[in-house]
Structure 1
Amino acid sequence: MSFWTAVVIIVAIGAVTSVFRARYRAQAGIIADKQGNEQYIQQTDTSDRREVEELRERIKVLERIATDANTTESLKIRQISDEIENLRDK
Structure 2
Amino acid sequence: MSFWTFVFLVVIAGMAFELVKQRNLARMGHVEDADGKLHKAVSARDAELQAEVTALRERVKVLERIVTDEREAQRLSSEIEKLRDE
TM-score (norm 1): 0.45
Structure of larger gyration radius: 1
TM-score (norm 2): 0.46
